């Protein structure tokens, strides 16, 4: 058995102030690390939850997003004729030809314009998205200048609330309902009749075709057929995949940003821990000499000081993670990288982020403690005892 754990632990407690200050430095780093990872995760989750696995999104080949896509009416009809498209109640195809347009609308509080997605929808668009629910009012009547607004639009944009009027496409539109799309990107959209919106925006083509698969396993064959049809030059993706691809650039950016910041900050925190631990070793030189005289090995001394530094790191990690967990209560609204529309999402703390944060804090503790511990272990017994 070596030097008891309580020795390392109580020494940290004895110099509480230094311990707290040093741990705070590491806590800050872990906080930054955890929060950016949580943000990336929150964004990814929001966008992935936006899609359903059994839905297929068809857009122009290489378009990347619905905004950049265009699907001719004739092409849309060919897609609609595919045998894999599911048939719903009343013999209606579960397929929607949709239009996606980006416009600017002023925000309620700041009066500053921000991007909003206008989606022209068909009769089954709502049924295709089980995560979208009408919570207030009714659906727009086909052929009318009526729209429904996502929860975020209704709350944050002027004229977005129920009964209010929005102006875009050189027309006035009455908001007749509000829908809640849970934690998904649809909350930042306005939905109206696709034909009315195509007229208003003078768009001759759809943006995308979305349909439900009759059988989930039919995806590969329908994709094969659509992508190899010489008349089409379209691509088909599962809806989950489609939104995950959209989030990729942003989450990657956030992760790289988070890791870069973390590495820079952690250098400071590690140096801080190192200074603290060197001071601890210097203050306890006689003690180290005594322990060695009593028969404890150099390795025991090394372990005791590294353990002390690991405790310090873990303490910082737990504090940082504790504060980071509160960020789950915060909702951030930002631009969607692909559509440049308002997108609201949260910080999502996962188990993986938690253990990675703690592991990282332990690593900082280890890096900060290694050299001081090596100095402690390398001391000559008589010289250490004479330092009284």
Question: Which residues bind to another protein, rule: CB under 8 A?
Answer: 1-4, 6-7, 10-11, 13-14, 286-287, 289-298, 381-382, 385, 388
In this structure, the number of other CB atoms found within 10 A of the CB of residue 231 comes to: 9
Q: What dihedral angle (degrees, nearest 10) is formed by the CA atoms of 325, 330, 335, 341?
A: 130
For residues 72 and 208, what is the distance between their CA atoms, to the nearest angstrom? 9
Instruction: Write the secondary structure of 278-313 as one string of H (helix), E (strand) and C (coil).
Output: HHHHHHCHHHHHHHHHHCCCHHHHHHHHHHHHHHHH
C-beta of 67 vs 379, nearer to another protein:
379
Distance of CA 104 to the CA centre of its chain: 25
C-beta of 12 vs 118, nearer to another protein:
12
Q: Is residue 167 a contact partner of residue 186, using CB atoms and an 8 Å limit? A: no
Q: Is residue 221 a contact partner of residue 33, using CB atoms and an 8 Å limit? A: no
For residues 273 and 36, what is the distance between their CA atoms, to the nearest angstrom? 23
C-beta of 263 vs 382, nearer to another protein:
382
Please give the radius of gyration of the chain, using alpha carbons only, rounded to the nearest integer.
Answer: 30
User: What 3-state DSSP class applies to 148?
Assistant: strand
Which residue spans within the chain are E strands per DSSP? 55-60, 95-106, 113-121, 133-137, 146-150, 165-168, 171-180, 189-193, 208-212, 234-238, 331-335, 342-346
C-beta of 74 vs 380, nearer to another protein:
380
Residue among 360, 59, 54, 68 at smallest CA distance from 215: 54
Cβ at position 15, least distance to another protein in Å: 10
C-beta of 3 vs 136, nearer to another protein:
3
Q: Is residue 148 a contact partner of residue 126, using CB atoms and an 8 Å limit? A: no
C-beta of 291 vs 344, nearer to another protein:
291
Cβ at position 374, least distance to another protein in Å: 16
C-beta of 260 vs 299, nearer to another protein:
299
C-beta of 270 vs 377, nearer to another protein:
377
């Amino acid at each position: 058995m070596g030097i008891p754990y309580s020795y390392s632990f109580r020494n940290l407690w004895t110099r509480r102030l230094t311990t707290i200050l040093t741990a705070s430095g590491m806590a800050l780093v872990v906080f930054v690390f955890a929060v950016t990872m949580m943000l990336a995760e929150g964004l990814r989750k929001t966008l992935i939850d936006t899609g359903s696995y059994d839905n297929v999104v068809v857009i122009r080949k290489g378009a990347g997003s619905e905004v950049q896509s265009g699907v001719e009416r004739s092409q849309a009809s060919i897609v609609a004729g595919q045998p894999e498209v599911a048939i719903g109640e009343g013999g209606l195809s579960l397929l929607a030809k949709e239009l996606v347009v980006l416009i600017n609308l002023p925000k309620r509080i700041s009066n500053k314009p921000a991007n909003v997605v206008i989606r022209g929808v068909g009769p089954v668009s709502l049924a295709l998205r089980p995560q979208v629910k009408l919570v207030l009012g009714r659906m727009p009547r086909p052929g009318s200048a009526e729209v429904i607004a996502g929860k975020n639009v209704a709350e944050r944009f002027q004229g977005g609330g129920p009964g209010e009027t929005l102006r875009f496409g050189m027309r006035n539109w009455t908001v007749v309902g509000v829908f809640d799309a849970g934690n998904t990107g649809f909350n930042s959209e306005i939905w109206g009749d696709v034909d009315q919106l195509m007229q208003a925006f003078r768009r001759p083509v759809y943006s995308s075709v979305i349909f439900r698969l009759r059988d989930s396993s039919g995806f590969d064959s329908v994709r094969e057929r659509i992508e190899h049809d010489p008349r089409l030059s379209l691509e088909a993706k599962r809806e989950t995949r489609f939104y995950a691809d959209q989030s990729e650039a942003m989450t990657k950016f956030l992760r790289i940003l988070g890791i870069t910041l973390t590495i820079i900050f952690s250098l400071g925190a590690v140096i801080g821990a190192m200074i603290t631990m060197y001071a601890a070793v210097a203050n306890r030189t006689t003690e180290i000499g005594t322990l060695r005289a009593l028969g404890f090995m150099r390795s025991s001394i090394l372990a005791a000081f590294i353990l002390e530094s690991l405790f310090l790191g873990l303490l910082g990690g737990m504090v940082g993670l504790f504060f980071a967990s509160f960020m789950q209560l915060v909702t951030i609204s930002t631009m969607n990288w692909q559509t440049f529309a308002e997108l609201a999402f949260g910080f999502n703390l996962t188990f993986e982020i938690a253990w990675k944060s703690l592991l990282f804090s332990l690593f900082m503790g280890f890096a900060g403690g290694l050299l001081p511990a090596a100095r402690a272990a390398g001391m000559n017994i008589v010289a250490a005892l004479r330092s009284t």
